[in-house]
Amino acid sequence: MIRGTTRKLGITGLIKQSAMADAFGINCEIGLAGNSLMNAANLHVIASVNNNTYYEFWRPEHIHQWG
């Protein structure tokens, strides 16, 4: 299993990492990115790849409240 996030690799980098893992028959599990925008980007990548089985999401209420 390989882990990745758009925070470190960006959308294109994460898709490339996932494709490389898929070529070797390994899952690329995508986890928490740290903020709502990056988490949305992670979900878009998850929807576009085939070798992902879960999404790790840690959501403390005080971090994700606006204003």
**Domain locations in the chain as residue ranges:** 2-48
* Cβ contact 18:28 at 8 Å: yes
Percentage of residues of the chain with pLDDT beyond 90: 51
Query: What is the reported pLDDT for 32?
Result: 81
Instruction: Tell me which of 7-11, 14-18, 33-37, 59-63 is least confident.
Output: 59-63
- What is the DSSP annotation of the chain? -EEE-HHHHHHHHHHHHHHHHHHTT--EEE---SSHHHHHHHHHHHHH-SS---B-----TTTS---
Predicted structure pTM score: 0.78
The better pLDDT of the pair 56, 66 is held by 56
The whole-number pLDDT of residue 58 equals 72
